[in-house]
Amino acid sequence: MTKSNTAPFDDSQRETLRAIAAAMIPASEESQLPGADDPTIFDDILASTGRDTKALADALTMLHSTVSGDLSALRSAGPGTVLERFRSENGATAAIFELAISQCYYRDDRVMRAIGMEPRAPYPKGYAIERGDWSLLDPVRARGKIYRDAGEGKTA
Amino acid sequence: MTAATNDPVDVLIIGGGASGAAVAWSLADTRMRILCLEQGDWVKTTDFPSTGRDWEARQFGDFSVSPNRRGLPEDYPINEDDSPIKVANFNGVGGGTILYAGHFPRLHPSDFRVRSLDGVAEDWPINYETLEPYYAVNDQITGVAALEGDPSYPPKPAVMPPLPLGETGALLGGAMNKLGWHWWPSDAAINTQIYEDRAACINLGHCLSGCAQGAKATTDGTYWPKAIRARVELRTRCRVRRIETDDDRMATGAYYVDADGVERFQPAAIVILACNGIGTPRLLLNSASEQFPDGLANTSGIVGKNLMFHPYGQVRGYFDQQLDGYRGPRIGAWSMEFYETDASRGFVRGYCYQFTRGLGPVVNAVSGMADGLIPWGEGHHAAFRRLFKGSAGMVSICEDLPEEINRVTLDPTLKDSDGIPAPKITYRLGENSQKMLDHSLARGIEILKTAGAHDITVKAPMPSAGWHLLGTARMGHDPKRSVVNDWGRSHDVRNLFVVDGSVFVTAGGVNPTSTIQAIALYVADQIKSRIHNLFD
């Protein structure tokens, strides 16, 4: 069973989501980046909607109906488009799409390499951070105490 | 109520989080029979998101800070429709420490004297000096990384070296120096070296959804192993329904639902509440009886009232140079420049800044789109790259004043999975808090501009940052104005204690976990020193 077969979207919802994914994060030849509708990434999206599945399904049905099934109307998100209007009128729902699509797009190996990340989980290798130069604090030390005394001694 | 009755214990602690663990450990040396009931379970570090490729996604799922979003069996729902700030918590062994940032400041001396110093709210019945030895013990057990000499505090020792400054700390610290404003490495409950068999931080960058390395001090790894070795019993997946009392107005124990769904009664000589600022008033209100018709320990009528969050303001900016990004703990340095009252600012009390590093790619994309900085479609990739490498900023943690209108009540219809009435919070930002938030945003923008940021965004109050749940069963000398006395004992029920954030009289302007645990240790010491006349 592929991941996409496990997703609880019907065909029209799935194709609507694919159109939105492509409109949100399109492929870039210049950056050699896939789009969010890339088959591998899109399968991951379909399998990962989790707690947001119902909200997405409802919104997809509404959008599919808005364009009367003509998905070409969802392939652009620029000014004056259906998606631009949808985002401005349904910010919370648009944010659910943004999370559902981004959380899978930006963990794809190709994408992670392209943005300068190693394609791996943070643990167990971790990362390095500069320890820093604590002499930067000399002006703060020189200024001296800044807290207020509150008076009185121990109470109990 | 029909329920199986367990063998009695001397001390029943309800809640196994920050304060429950601390009070259990401290009381263990009495050799009393001590039992803690925790509604959640142990969490395995191998389950934390940073162990997997879906590390960012899972912080919005099972490891979300929102109990309503998680919706796991151990969570209880909260009606938060009447609040712009939503509750953040975790239900399990370790409680909120599992998902906290590990930012570990103490309250300041002035925080205990707000009425005397600033003419607002009320003074605490205890002060900084009272808690100072307990802060010190807690720092040792927790393992606090810090740099000694912070001029915004009385002298306090560091247990281990501070967190690394990183590119972000150096940049923002330099800006603070230009402005002549205070900043300092944060006290952090994060190991910078191996400490008591817990590993050192490896900069996973994902403290807020659980530390897979075990370097962040969470009470399942600090207090609890010590307490359990000292024969304290911790019983998980046990949700308390109500506390029972007798004709003498003494607590006799608690009814709870165990892991198998069986209703049980646990008799106890002493009951200690450690469920924090929502869970504790919920349980007291759910324990109403003929003797306590308005809720247990509530003859004052203020159980649940004076709910204080810390309203958070967020200021983020983007820089052209490479910064730490998603690497490293979210925290690193703080500023107490605007902590103490300055009447010229137009509000009393103050706030701290917690400087923050960058974002992971998913959150960078999502927040960039939400802020209108990253478009859908053409231009998405270029905008993402421009913002990803050099993101940094801060949150302001603003002191909230106690107001009775801000409160926890029982929702008339909402219930948890065991049928126990769920809490409802009613909260609105006070005028003083709003002015403080506005001030913190303006100064935050000034800091980021001084550091060279572009595309600065602000958000206030941060809606999902209701971490700090305080004030709903506060301490005080006057039984008409407080729920517990100056050593944590209920004014109404002489063998009932509260040790969590509920007892805060005022909130201060810093993360409260260090103080919550210091109070738990202090109350435990009071119980021990008064054991022969504890119920007088």
In terms of CA atoms, which chain A residue is nearest residue B327? A127
Q: Three-state DSSP class for B312? A: strand
Alpha helices in B191-265 (DSSP H): 223-229
- Report pLDDT for A4: 43
Report chain A residues whose CB lies below 8 A from the CB of B175: none
Contacts of A136 in chain B (CB under 8 A): 165, 170, 173-174, 177
For the stretch A51-85, pLDDT in tens is 999 999 999 999 999 999 999 999 999 999 999 99
Domain assignment of residue A151, yes or no: no
Identify whether A72 is part of a domain. Answer: yes
Contact by Cβ (8 Å): B119, B132: no
Distance of CA B97 to the CA centre of its chain: 7
Window B:179-208, CB contacts with A under 8 Å: 180, 182-185, 202-206
Structural element, H or E, at residue B257: strand B251-257
Q: For residue B272, what are the contacts with CB-CB under 8 A and spacing of at least 6?
A: B11, B12, B13, B14, B20, B23, B496, B497, B498, B499, B523
Q: Is residue A152 part of a domain?
A: no
Residue A2, pLDDT > 70, answer no
Determine the pLDDT at residue A5: 44
Structural domain for A76, as ranges: 3-121
Query: What is the distance in angstroms between the Cα of A126 and the nearest Cα belonging to chain B?
Result: 5
Task: Please name the amino acid found at residue A61.
Answer: T
Q: Among B118, B340, B148, which residue's Cα sits nearest to residue A146?
A: B340
Which DSSP helix (H) or strand (E) runs through B255? strand B251-257
To the nearest whole Å, the CA of B203 is away from the closest chain A CA by: 5
Is A60 in the B-facing interface, judged by CB distances under 8 Å?
no
Structure tokens at B143: 């393992």
Say whether B324 and A31 touch across the interface (CB within 8 A).
Answer: no
Across the interface, of A78, A115, A140, the residue whose CB is closest to B183 is A140
Q: Give me B165's structure tokens.
A: 């400054």
Q: Is residue A77 part of a domain?
A: yes
ipTM of the complex: 0.94
Cβ of A86 under 8 Å from any chain B Cβ? no
The verdict on A99 touching B (C-beta cutoff 8 Å) is yes
What pLDDT shows up at residue A155?
58
A80 and chain B: CB distance < 8 Å anywhere? Answer: no
- The 3-state DSSP class for residue B23 equals helix
Contact list in B for residue A144 (CB cut-off 8 A) is 151
Cα distances (Å, whole numbers) of residue B261 to A25, B78, B254, B256, B264: 47, 21, 15, 9, 9
Please, what are the domains in chain B?
4-358+390-531 (3.50.50.60)
Of the candidates A25, A35, A19, the residue with the CA atom closest to the CA atom of residue A69 = A19
**A29 burial class (0-12, 13-18, 19+ CB within 10 angstroms)?**
exposed
* Chain A interface disruption, residue of B381, B388, B484, most A CBs within 10 A: B381
Please tell me the distance from the alpha carbon of residue B309 to that of residue B351, in angstroms, as a whole number.
13
**CB atoms B165 and A136 under 8 Å:** yes
The verdict on B174 touching A (C-beta cutoff 8 Å) is yes
The pLDDT of residue B1 is 56
Measured in degrees and rounded to the nearest 5, phi and psi for residue B152 equal -95, 5
B412 phi/psi in degrees, rounded to 5: -70, -20
Per CB-CB distance under 8 Å, the chain B contacts of A146 are: 151-152, 182, 336-337, 340
**Euclidean distance between CA atoms B195 and B139, whole angstroms:** 12
Q: Is A87 on the interface with B (CB under 8 A)?
A: yes
Task: Tell me the one-letter amino acid at B95.
Answer: G
Q: Span A34-39, mean pLDDT?
A: 98
CB pairs under 8 A between A and B: 209
Number of domains in chain A: 1
Question: How high is the pLDDT of residue A8?
Answer: 80
SS3 label, residue B184 = strand
Measured CA to CA, the distance from residue B111 to residue B127 in angstroms comes to: 8
Looking at residue B2, its pLDDT comes to 79
Do the chains contact at B54 and A48, CB–CB below 8 Å?
yes
Q: Using an 8 Å Cβ cutoff, are B123 and B505 in contact?
A: yes
Residue B371 burial by Cβ neighbours in a 10 Å radius (0-12, 13-18, 19+): middle
CB contact under 8 A, B180 and A117: no
What DSSP line would sit under B362-409, residue for residue?
A: HHHHHHHHHTTSS-SSTTHHHHHHHHHTTEEEEEEEEPPPP-TTSEEE
B421, HSE (Cβ side, Cα atoms, 13 Å)? 17
- pLDDT tens-digit map of A108-151: 999 999 999 999 999 999 999 999 999 999 999 999 999 999 87
**Spatial separation of the C-alpha atoms in residues B500 and B513, rounded to whole Å:** 9
Residue whose token pair is 């800091």: B447
SS3 for B457?
A: strand
Is there a contact between B213 and A126 if contact means CB atoms under 8 Å apart? Answer: yes
- Kind and range of the H or E element at B316? strand B312-318
Q: Residues B271-289: what's their mean pLDDT? A: 98
**B283-316 pLDDT, tens digit each:** 999 999 999 999 999 999 999 999 999 999 999 9
Instruction: Classify residue A146: in a domain, yes or no.
Output: no
Please give the torsion angle defined by the CA atoms of residues B50, B51, B53 and B56, in that order, rounded to the nearest 10 degrees. -20
Q: Is residue A136 part of a domain?
A: no
Contact B147, B187 (CB under 8 A): no
What single string gives the DSSP state of each residue in chain A? --GGGGS---HHHHHHHHHHHHHHS--BTTTTB--TTSHHHHHHHHHT-GGGHHHHHHHHHHHHHHTTT-GGGGS--STTSHHHHHHHH-HHHHHHHHHHHHHHHTTSHHHHHHTT--SS-STTT--------GGGGHHHHHH---SPP-------
Residue A126 located in a structural domain: no
Query: What is the tens place of the pLDDT at every residue in B220-261?
Result: 999 999 999 999 999 999 999 999 999 999 999 999 999 999
> Which pLDDT belongs to residue B30?
97
By the 8 A CB rule, do B353 and B334 touch? Answer: yes
| C-alpha to C-alpha distance for B138 and B385, rounded to whole angstroms | 43
Residue B256, strand partner residues: B240, B264
In a domain, A127, yes or no: no
